[in-house]
Amino acid sequence: MQVLPLRVLVLEDHLFQQTVAVNLLKKLGCQAVFSASNGTQALETLQRVGAVDIVLCDLRMEGMDGLEFLHRVARVGLVGAVILSSSLSGDVRQAARQLVTLLGLPLLGDLGKPLHADALNELLQKHLHNPRSIPTRLEPVELAPAGEVRSAMQHHQMETYFQPKINLLTGEVIGVEALTRWNHPTQGVVSPAVFMPAIESCGLLNELLFSQIKHGLALARKASSQGHVLNVAFNLEPVQLSNPELVSVIRSILCSFGLPASSLTFELTESGLLEASATCLESLVRLRMIGCRLSIDDFGVGFSSLQRLCQLPFNEIKLDREFVRGLGHDPRCEAVINCTLGLGKALGMSVVVEGIETSEQYQQLLALGCVQGQGYFFAKPMTEHDLLAWLTTRANPEKNV
């Protein structure tokens, strides 16, 4: 019998089905298999035995159910990936699959019930051979200390990276999204998940934004000298809109670079705009008045998307990447993309599709009529120097031969 270097937790309240799942996993060669009858027991098991590679998770059970359990383990990083196994209806399971992904947990698949050895083994092998699943011993994200982040800001260690936005029909680069990375002197490039909470708690969001804008406009000016007109997009937190000086500072920066406000797009997530104050709304209107573009980001994953579109002066919709991931195997994802494209057209808004990672997704989106998108299929976020070189290579493909 093959031995799989996998630690698996079975969360199942039906004792017979739990026993079947445990025995099946052992028969397939899993190195260590643990079991629990509800979420509370499962958390206690993880605290006792440590992290597992996979949890085979039922959803409906007495006490702490599967959903609450997944919420909790997503925060503490004790599970590498999830396989759902439930007898609930297809639409409920589909929503649960979406939730798992939104929680940041890799979803290997949804097997339903009863379990079949071949299907289960296929998912186990998928996990073993997926580079993204290694290492599987997840550790909670250790947040950077506030003092260290302040020092990093003072010593200009925060660098702006840029991810291109592409016209899917022509391949033309129409803009870039600005993203901050911390070039730590000893740890290398640090993820925003580590330092952004400290940036917010220290009240440094505006300082970071204004620095980003200067970097972005410097890039736009250099790109323009090479014949590329780039719009630069920045993530804007709703709390920043309450600053009455926000728009005047942005206008001042634009004037210092001699570039029009149409060079800038500000992306705001719909979830942060549930209760927009008068000052926030005034800032949004003023940004539009001076010529900036406003984009509603992660469209479709919140609960007030349509209300936000009606109330606030957006002129771009960024469709969340989860709908692209569902293309080809979930008809409802295709329906959402179609409806969003129609909505954008009806409201006079452009639609940007996020998370394009494969040629197949690209072709499917073209067939649906998508015009703008971004994702790793085209390019990952890169430094200003690398982006300008990348643009030159695209403009002169013979140089890459």
Active site residues: 354
**Kind of pairing, strands 293-299 and 316-319?**
parallel
Contact 264, 295 (CB under 8 A): no
**Kind of pairing, strands 107-110 and 316-319?**
unpaired
Taking the chain, what is the end-to-end CA distance rounded to the nearest angstrom? 49
Please spell the DSSP secondary structure of 336-395, one letter per residue.
HHHHHHHHHHHHT-EEEE----SHHHHHHHHHHT--EE-STTT---B-HHHHHHHHHHHH
- Give the CA angle between residues 12, 16, 19 to the nearest 5°: 70
Residues 6+ apart with CB under 8 A from 126: 108, 109
* Closest of 194, 185, 83 to residue 139, by C-alpha: 194
Kindly report the number of other CB atoms within 10 A of residue 218's CB atom: 15
